[in-house]
Amino acid sequence: MFKWKKDKKKLESKAIEQTTANEVACSGKKMDEIGLLKNNQRSIVNRINEKIEDTAFAGENLIGIIHDISNNVEVQMESIENVVSEISNYTALAEEVFSSTENSKVIAEETMGIAKEGNMAVDNSIKAMSEIEISVQNAKEVVNDLSLKSAHINDMLAIIKDIANHTNLLSLNASIEAARAGEAGRGFAVVAQEVKKLAQRSSESAEQISNTINEINESIDETIDVMNKSMNKVLEGNEIANNMKGVFNNIIGAVGTTTSVAEEINIAVSKQTESLESIISSTEEMNKTSESVMAMVESASLNTQYTKTSLNILSDVSKDLQSISTKLLDNIEETEKNESVLKTYLSSKPLTYDPQLAFDAQSAQILYNVHGGLLLISSTGEITSGIAKSWYVEEDNLTWVFNLRKGAKFHNGREITSKDIKYSYERLLSPSLKSANGWFLEQVEGAVEYCGGKAKEVIGIKIIDTYRISIKLTKPYSGFLLNLGQYVCSILCKEDVEKGKLTGCGPYIIESKEEGKCILTAFKDYFGGIPYVDKIIVNYDGENSVNSFTNKECDFITIDNKHQIEELSNDKISDIQYKSIMATYYAGFNLRSNSIFVKDSEIKEAFNLAVNKKKIIDEVLGGLGEEAKGPMPPNMIDNGYLAGLGYNPRLSREILNKKGASIKNAKLKVLVRDESSETIFNKIAQFIIDDLKEVGIECIVEKVSPDKYLNPEIISRCDLFLSRWISDTGDMDNFLQPMFNPSNFTDFTGYNNPEVTEMMNKAKEIINPKKRIQMYKDIQKIIVRDTPWIFLYHPQYGYISREGVIGVRISPLGIVRYEDIIIEKMHSSISEILDHIKIYS
C-alpha cells in the first residue's frame, strides 16, 4: 500500500511537471504566434496602403483616359455629321450623274441610227464601185480587141505595100521590055505606065491607112492608160469605202459599248444611291450610338470620380487602420519574434542567376522573386505596377512615358532613377552581353542598331528627368507592356554590376548560393511592401520534394508528375490544387541535321503518329497535362480547329514502309540528359524511344550534362532532343517568337519559315483581338504542317502547402510569388512532444 502511494505520488509529480512543460511550451508557441501575427498585421496594413496608392494612380490614369475618350467621341460625332453632309452632297451629285447618263444614252441611240444609215450608204457605194469596176474592165477588153484588129490591118497593109512594090517593079520591067520592042511595044508601055501609077497610088493609100491606124493605136494606148488609171481609182475608192465601212462598224460598236456602259452606270449609280441612303441611315445610327457612348463615357467618368472619391476615403480609412493597428500592436506585449522561415523545392538547379541571360524555368522561379522591373507580372499573369507607379502612351501611339516611384530602392539601399532603367535595358541589348533575350526590346526605336554595334545608345529610350523615362517603339505593339514585366527586363544597379554583383530590387535578396540550394532573405525596403516571410530556403533536389513535404521538412511544393501524386496519395494527402500552365513540352527535330528522318516531312509526321502522348500524360504525369495538337497551349488559344497528329502506329508504319530503302539501316540520334532515369525528361525520352522502336526505328542515345543540354553546338550533334517552353508573358507573340524566329537563340530546332516570320511580325501590330487570334491560328496551322517537333503535351502543375501556410499560388506562367505567402501559425514540434508524453490517470 505504501509503495502504491509512493508510486502514485511520483506519477502525480511527473504529471504536474509534464503539464507545466506543456503549458510553458504552449505559452511559448502562443507568444511566437502573437509575434507572427503582429508581423503579418504590419505587413498586410503596409501592403494595403501600397495597393490603395497604386489603385489611386490607376484611377487617375483611368480618369485621364476617359476624358481622352470623351474628347475623341466628340470629334467622332463631328466627323460623322461631316460624313453625313458629304454623303448628302454626293447623293445629289449621283442623281445628276444619273440624269446625265440618261441623256447620254438618248444621244448614243441617235448616233447609233445615223451610223447605221451611213453604213448602208457605204454599202451602196461599194456596190456601185464594184459595178463601175466591171464596166471599165469590159471596156478595156473591147479596146484591147480593137487594138488587136488594128494590128491585123497593119499586117494586111504590109502585104498591100509589098504587092504595090512588086507591081511597081513589074511595071518598070514592062517599060524596059516595051522600049526594046520599039514601036510594037509602045501600047504595052502605056499599060505599064498606068500600072505603075496604080501601084504608086496603092502604096500611098496603104501608107495613109497605116498612118491612120498608127494614130488609132496611139489613141487606144492612151485609152488603155486612162482606163488603167480609172481602174486604180476605182480600186482606191473601193478600199476607201471598205475602210469607211470599218469606221462606221467601229462607230456602231463604240456607240453600242457607250450605251451598254451608260446602262451599267445607270445601274451602278442607282445601286450607289441606294447604298448611300443605307450609309446615311447607318451614320445616323452611328451618331445615335456615339451619343449613347458619350452618355456611357460621362457615366464612366462620373463613376471613376466616385471611385476616386472612394479610394481617397479608403486611403484615409487605411491610414486610420494603420494608426489604430500600430497602437493596438504597441499595446500587445512585445516579444522577440522568431525569424519566419519556409522551405521549398525546385525540380533542378537554375542555369544562371543573371536575369538578362536566363531562359529556363528554374532560373525564372528564383529571378522573379529577386528582381523587379518597371512593371511586374501578377500571380494571375496580368500587368501590375512596379518601379513605375503609372504610365501612359502619347498620341503617336508609339511613345510610352513612365513615372517612377520616388524612394524605390535597390537591395544596396540606393534609390532607383530613370538612368538605371536606361542602363539596364541597354545592357540587355548590348552586343557584348550577347543575351538570347534581347528580342524582348527589339521593337524599341534604335534597339536593332544598338544591338548590332552601329549606335552608342538606344535612341528610343530617353531620360526625361530623374523619375520619368520615355520609350518609343518603331511600330505599335500590343504585347510591349507585358514584355517589360518579365524578369529579363529587370532593373539592375550599374555600379554593382560593374563589380560583378547582380544587385536587384525585388522582394527578396539572395543571401547565399550553394550547390544544392539558395537562401532568399526578405528585402525590408521593397517598394511593393515588406514580404510576410523572412527567409525562403529553396532546395534544388526536386526528386526529394514530396518525401521532404510528407516528413514535414518543407512547407510547400509544386507537383508535375505521377510519382509525386502517388507518394502524396500514399500518405493520405489529397488537398492538391491544380493549375493549367501556358507551356508546352516537345521533342524537337534538329532541322539542320542531314538525316533523312529530319529532312522528310512525311517521316516526321509518322514519328508524331508513333508516339503515344496520352500514355506519357497518364503514366509519367499522372494525368497532369493535355495532348498537344500544336505548339500553343489551349488556355492561350483554343486548339479545337486543329486536327492534331494523334496516336496511330499502324498509319505510322505504313508511311515508314513506303520510304523503304531510303531509311533502311538509318538510326535516329536522340539527345538525353545525363541524370536520373526518374526525371520527367528522361522518362519521356524512354517512352518516345520505345514507341519509335515499335514502328521499326532504332535510336542511338547520347547523354549530355543538363546544364549544357540546350547549347546549339550540343544540339547540332543529334536528330532529336527534348525541351519545353513556358510562356514569359501570356502573349501569343511572346510564346511563338522565341521558338520559331531564326534570329532568336532559343529557336533550338533551327526552324526557318519566312512566311511564318513575316506573319508573326504583322500579328504584333494587329489591335483587333479577333483578327489577332485568327492570325495566330493561321500561323499555328503552318507550323503544324511543317512539323518541326513531335508535339507532346501542355502541362498542368499541382501545388500544396502545409497547414498554417496560405497564399501559395501558381501563376499561368508557372511561377510562385514568394512575397504573397503568409504563415498563419508557427510550425512547431509541440504536437509531437505531446504525443510522446504519457499521463497516467
Same domain, 436 and 297: no
Q: Determine the pLDDT at residue 217.
A: 72
Q: How many whole angstroms separate alpha carbon 785 and alpha carbon 777? A: 12
Q: Determine the pLDDT at residue 584.
A: 95
Same domain, 157 and 226: yes
Task: Tally DSSP H helices, then E strands, for the chain.
Answer: 19, 20
Region label for 348, one of left (φ > 0), alpha (ψ between -120 and 50) or beta (otherwise): beta
pTM of the complete model: 0.63
Q: Which three cell numbers stand for residue 20?
A: 507545466
Q: Determine the pLDDT at residue 479.
A: 82
Q: Determine the pLDDT at residue 197.
A: 75
Q: Is residue 570 part of a domain?
A: no
Same domain, 393 and 312: no
Same domain, 321 and 404: no
CATH number at residue 395: 3.90.76.10
Per-residue pLDDT reduced to its tens digit, 22-43 = 554 445 555 555 666 656 666 6
State the average pLDDT for the chain.
80
Q: Is residue 3 part of a domain?
A: no
Q: Is residue 220 part of a domain?
A: yes
Region label for 381, one of left (φ > 0), alpha (ψ between -120 and 50) or beta (otherwise): left
User: How many other CB atoms are found less than 10 A from the CB of residue 731?
Assistant: 21
Same domain, 460 and 592: no
Q: Is residue 819 part of a domain?
A: no
Q: Is residue 198 part of a domain?
A: yes
Q: Determine the pLDDT at residue 182.
A: 72
Same domain, 482 and 586: no
Q: Are 351 and 362 in contact (CB under 8 A)?
A: yes
The packing angle between helices 754-765 and 732-740, to 10°, is 160
CATH number at residue 111: 1.10.287
**Residue after which a domain boundary falls, among 471, 492, 513:** 492
Q: Determine the pLDDT at residue 330.
A: 61
Burial bucket for residue 785 (CB in 10 Å: 0-12, 13-18, 19+)? exposed
Same domain, 315 and 402: no
Handedness of CA 270, 275, 276, 277 (dihedral sign): positive
Q: How many whole angstroms separate alpha carbon 547 and alpha carbon 539? A: 13
**Residue after which a domain boundary falls, among 492, 518, 549:** 492
Q: Which three cell numbers stand for residue 719?
A: 536528330
Q: Determine the pLDDT at residue 4.
A: 41
3-class state of residue 803 by DSSP: coil
Same domain, 240 and 121: yes
Chain-centroid distance of CA 73 in Å reads: 30
3-class state of residue 522 by DSSP: strand
User: How many other CB atoms are found less than 10 A from the CB of residue 689?
Assistant: 19
- Nearest Cα neighbor of 360 from 583, 542, 556 is 583
Per-residue pLDDT reduced to its tens digit, 671-683 = 999 998 888 999 9
Handedness of CA 750, 753, 756, 762 (dihedral sign): positive
The length of the chain is 841
Q: How many whole angstroms separate alpha carbon 393 and alpha carbon 484? A: 14
Over 538-563, what HEC string results?
EECCHHHHHHHHHCCCCCEEEECCHH
Q: How many domains does the chain have?
A: 3
User: Per-residue DSSP letters for 658-713?
Assistant: HHGGGGTT-EEEEEEESS-TTSHHHHHHHHHHHHHHHTT-EEEEEEE-GGGTT-HH
3-class state of residue 259 by DSSP: helix
Q: How many whole angstroms separate alpha carbon 373 and alpha carbon 402? A: 12
CATH number at residue 777: 3.10.105.10
Q: Is residue 361 part of a domain?
A: no
Q: Is residue 633 part of a domain?
A: yes
Q: Determine the pLDDT at residue 1.
A: 40
Long-range contacts of 38-43 (CB under 8 A, 24+ apart): 38/329, 38/332, 38/337, 39/337, 39/340, 39/532, 40/532, 40/822, 40/823, 40/824, 41/325, 41/329, 42/325, 42/329, 42/530, 43/529, 43/530, 43/531, 43/532
Q: Is residue 8 part of a domain?
A: no
**What's the Cα-to-Cα distance from 644 to each of 542, 606, 783, 792, rounded to whole Å?**
33, 13, 12, 11
Beta bridge partners of 584: 725
Residue written as cell 485621364? 64
Same domain, 476 and 589: no
Same domain, 319 and 407: no
- Nearest Cα neighbor of 161 from 209, 195, 194 is 209
Q: How many whole angstroms separate alpha carbon 293 and alpha carbon 672? A: 59
Beta bridge partners of 388: 404
Q: Determine the pLDDT at residue 171.
A: 74
Q: Which domain holds residue 272?
A: 18-329
Same domain, 430 and 285: no
Q: Determine the pLDDT at residue 841.
A: 33
Per-residue pLDDT reduced to its tens digit, 117-169 = 766 766 766 676 666 667 667 666 766 776 676 667 767 767 777 777 777 77
Mean pLDDT by 10 residues, the chain (841 residues): 47 52 50 60 62 60 62 63 63 61 64 67 67 67 68 71 74 75 72 73 73 74 71 68 65 64 65 65 65 57 56 59 59 66 93 92 94 90 89 90 96 97 97 91 94 95 97 88 93 96 96 92 94 94 91 92 89 89 95 94 96 95 93 91 93 93 90 91 96 95 92 94 88 90 92 95 85 94 96 94 91 91 68 36 33
- Nearest Cα neighbor of 236 from 133, 337, 309 is 133
**Residue after which a domain boundary falls, among 477, 492, 507:** 492
Same domain, 590 and 725: yes
Find the largest Cα–Cα distance for the chain: 238
3-class state of residue 233 by DSSP: helix
